[in-house]
Structure 1
């Protein structure tokens, strides 16, 4: 089976940094010590390897951080050949006490998605074709709300994640539910950790959990190994990072996450060296749902 890789970047302000003077500057643009390590830098890294990425943009921060900044970011990403799709963190614009989509009614979710689509259409000139719920916090009503609004691709399902309330079994394969194609966040088995001790890698045959292919969750070696283990077994392989993946907040201040940068660069080199095809969700829409 030929596997196509989809590089996804959740582009957002993280909740614990909303106390900063300019969290958009830090978490979305990744500005640190005169350099940029955020969405635009990530976009350039991807493009320099001949690939395109899918930037899931949390539109609901625009009321706090300025709509023009989101518009400019969209233009920058689109000019680089990348895809911008809908990401929903409803607590940013709606109820701060309800952080996940599954905490909202079907009617509320329909409105949240509809309003997000209007914003993205205004900024990009395009209707979004795909969605991911913030913190993977979707439920079946989320899929129903997407279908009602004409979005037929979702990538919120994360097997084993407590925040994710989609009641489906362990599968990295795409599947259809409530009229929407779900392209799961790809997971790989990894050893469990007990009392601070991480068991050797081979022990995942006996005791394991599932982890997404995330530059902040796996080092370079494990990430590349996990990609190759899944490669050839599924039609689409989803890799993951955030716009803020390369900037760490510590008690003494912010620093670059050099291990995450190395993991991402190693992943891009692996894909290039092995000529693994990289695509975007809007490009596979025709394959799955018949929409261009």
Structure 2
């Protein structure tokens, strides 16, 4: 019987039992925090897949999308998880996505399903559909991705974080074992339905939930500004601070986000995310309390009780105003908000000086001042 067919006959629980038995003699328990590096493989709504999936940009001698990431991850000792949006097949066919999948697997990384179902199933994110339709959407994507990759598809992330409790029920019914759609720092449907803002691993509807890790960049009294741990939008210093905080708490996992277009978002080469990733990799390798793991490796350890961690489900690290300010300078040209934040101290000083000058002028023009000899 072919291996693919054999694996597909296992239910999710049976698969984990199989992995647990197979791993008993070579996978000891670990007491460190797992670092998961995850990539959403997709293009923009009207995007060019050769640019936004493969990363072919005119100002780079090599593609900076999935092929580059797969190779670079391997060089840095990272086993990545690539969530592939196969529904884009309706827009531009099979060629680009199948090339990306080939590179992902060639470097030993993992494949998961990413659901932006609009190109194939019409308008609306996944959670806007009823349970029965969600099952159809997920089964279609799972089967196509399994056929292209030759692997059972067991993990999922909803596009735009558009998942809800129906999504988790559908995933469980279809044999998935884990989901990474929970993003409590953004107004996602699932984060509004669950009773706690999980920021670490949890089991919901018999599905292992791997939230996209988030942190508070600014806290002022009751106000807090939250941000996802994203290679593009977070600075290296902020991500290192989050990793260190989870390691000190013996948290179970930090889930880091990327996109296939992280190095080509504006149609030009941008190697800053790759530089950040190298710094993160060095930090993880030098910290005995942190360890890069693939999602399936982590799930195997989780289900067989090999992870000696303390789920920090309500723990939200704070990186602070100073790191937020430094990030604004790092991303100065990437939007008006960064420029405004970077220039705000100079603006505040200028405003204060203007007030002082006006007050001084007012005092000099007063009748009392004019009457003085």
2:136 and 2:291 map into 1 onto residues whose CA distance is: 36
How far the C-alpha of 1:281 sits from its partner, in A, is: 1.4
Q: Paired residue for 2:190? A: 165
Distance (whole Å) between structure 1 residues aligned to residue 244 and residue 129 of structure 2: 38
Q: Distance in 2 between matches of 1:284 and 1:225?
A: 22
User: Contact (CA 8 Å) 2:126, 2:162: kept in 1 or not?
Assistant: yes
- The corresponding residue for 2:228 is 212
How far apart in 1 are the matches of 2:68 and 2:91?
23
Q: Distance in 2 between matches of 1:27 and 1:204?
A: 38
Give 1:271's aligned residue: 284
State the Cα distance separating 1:160 from its structure 2 match. 2.9
> Which of 175, 178, 198 is the matching residue for 1:153?
178
SS in 2 for 1:36: coil
Contact persistence 1:220–1:259 (CA under 8 A): no
Aligned to 2:99: 72
Supply the RMSD in Å over aligned alpha carbons: 1.8
Partner Cα distance (1:232, 1:152) in 2: 28
Counterpart for residue 104 of structure 1: 129
SS of the residue corresponding to residue 198 of structure 2 reads: coil
Distance in 1 of aligned mates of 2:51 and 2:73: 20
Aligned: 1:243 with 2:260: yes
Name the CA distance, whole Å, in 2 between partners of 1:235 and 1:83: 20
Deviation per CA, 1:91-118, whole angstroms, max 9, x where unpaired? 12111x31x2111110110001101111
For residues 108 and 221 of structure 2, the distance between their equivalents in structure 1, rounded to whole angstroms, comes to: 41
Please give the alpha-carbon distance, in whole angstroms, between the structure 2 residues aligned to 1:173 and 1:227. Answer: 12
Aligned length: 268
Find the aligned partners of 1:258 and 1:208 in 2 and give their Cα distance.
Answer: 30
2:44 is matched with 14
The alpha carbon displacement at 1:125 in A equals 1.1
Tell me whether 1:61 sits opposite 2:91 in the alignment.
no
Q: CA deviation at 1:204?
A: 5.4
Which runs of at least 4 in structure 1 moved beyond 4 Å after TM superposition? 203-206
Assess if the C-alpha contact under 8 Å between 2:34 and 2:298 holds in 1: no
Check whether the contact 1:158–1:184 (CA below 8 A) recurs between aligned residues.
yes
Say which structure is richer in helix: 2
TM-score of the superposed pair, with normalisation by structure 1: 0.86
User: Paired residue for 2:155, among 130, 134, 140?
Assistant: 130
In the alignment, structure 1 residue 285 sits paired with structure 2 residue 299: yes
Say if 1:246 and 1:134 are closer, same or farther in 2 by CA, change over 3 A: same
